[in-house]
């Protein structure tokens, strides 16, 4: 089946500090977004890759691609006010039978995670990677808190993969601010969500500490040359 991969990088969040959107910050000498796009090209060089970017930063992205001679084929679409609208815009270009949505600042989905997600989505209609919690969890209740059973919860990652008809139907709904992610939107349209084991390295880079950890992951896995197949080390 033909695959489309929507990489959402339409935000300008600044929790990581500075004026540059985090997807453009350097990781091992290249913008984070380069690593993310390249990861999916290594996974499936025939896949359609669509990147949503802040409209005011489109020309900056073109300059980055020229500066770093980044030549991985991809299409670009302007992001919207919310992530929801960015995905809606990208869906207009998506032509795959299976459509994945992935965070632009998650540069480490393993090949195994991606493969499982697409395989399960093809048979079941949806697939969402998750990992177990490693720390205790408490729920706030007013001025106090209660302990929760950690084994009953999972941390949700991307890529979240769906059959084309399923995700298009979900995104035909009106936006509301309680939408957590693509899976919650699809689930609200009446489709069951199938969970897939993700990989711990598939972190979302949000803070300066995350960026330090991401550098360490690249160094420890020796992934600076993904064309040599080293992405397989993230299993």
Domain boundaries, the chain: 3-233
Instruction: State the Cα–Cα distance between residues 203 and 107, nearest whole angstrom.
Output: 8
CA distance 44 to 41: 5
CB-based contact 91:167 (threshold 8 Å): yes
Q: Could you tell me the two tokens for 115?
A: 């493969």
Cβ atoms < 10 Å from Cβ of 190: 9
Amino acid 19: pLDDT: 81
* DSSP class of 136: -
For residue 74, report the phi and psi dihedrals to the nearest 5 degrees: -160, 160
Topology of the domain comprising 3-233 = Spore Coat Polysaccharide Biosynthesis Protein SpsA; Chain A (3.90.550)
What pLDDT was estimated at residue 190?
Answer: 94
**For position 229, what pLDDT does the model report?**
43
Residue 204: the pLDDT is 96
Decide if 50 contacts 90 (C-beta within 8 A). yes
235 residues of the chain, pLDDT tens digit each: 899 999 999 776 555 656 899 999 999 999 999 999 999 999 999 999 999 999 999 999 999 999 999 999 999 999 998 999 999 999 999 999 999 999 999 999 999 999 999 999 999 999 999 999 999 999 999 899 999 999 999 999 999 999 999 999 999 999 988 898 999 999 999 999 999 999 999 999 999 999 999 999 988 875 444 444 444 445 4
- For residue 226, what pLDDT is reported? 47
Say what the pLDDT of residue 17 is: 55
Which one, of 55, 59, 70, 79, lies nearest residue 7 by Cα? 79
pLDDT of residue 46: 97
pLDDT in the model for residue 180: 87
**Among the residues of 17-73, which ranges form H helices?**
32-43, 58-67
């Amino acid at each position: 089946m033909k695959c489309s991969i929507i990489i959402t990088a339409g935000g300008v969040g600044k929790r990581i500090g500075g004026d540059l959107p985090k997807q453009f910050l350097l990781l091992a000498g290249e913008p984070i977004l380069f690593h993310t796009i390249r990861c999916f090209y290594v996974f499936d060089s025939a896949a359609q890759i669509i990147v949503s970017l802040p409209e005011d930063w489109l020309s900056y992205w073109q300059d980055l691609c020229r500066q770093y001679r980044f030549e991985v084929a991809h299409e670009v679409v302007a992001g919207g006010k919310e992530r929801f609208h960015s995905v809606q815009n990208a869906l207009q270009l998506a032509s795959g039978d299976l459509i994945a949505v992935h965070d632009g600042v998650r540069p480490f989905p393993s090949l195994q995670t991606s493969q499982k997600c697409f395989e399960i989505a093809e048979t079941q209609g949806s697939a969402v990677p998750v990992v177990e919690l490693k720390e205790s969890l408490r729920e706030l209740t007013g001025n106090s808190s209660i302990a929760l059973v950690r084994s009953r919860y999972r941390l949700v990652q991307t890529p979240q993969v769906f059959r084309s008809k399923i995700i298009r139907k979900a995104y035909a709904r009106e936006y509301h601010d309680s939408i957590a992610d693509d899976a919650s939107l699809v689930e609200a349209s009446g489709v069951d969500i199938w969970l897939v084991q993700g990989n711990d390295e598939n972190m979302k880079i949000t803070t300066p500490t995350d960026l330090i950890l991401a550098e360490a992951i690249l160094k420890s896995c020796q992934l600076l040359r993904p064309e040599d197949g080293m992405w397989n080390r993230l299993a």
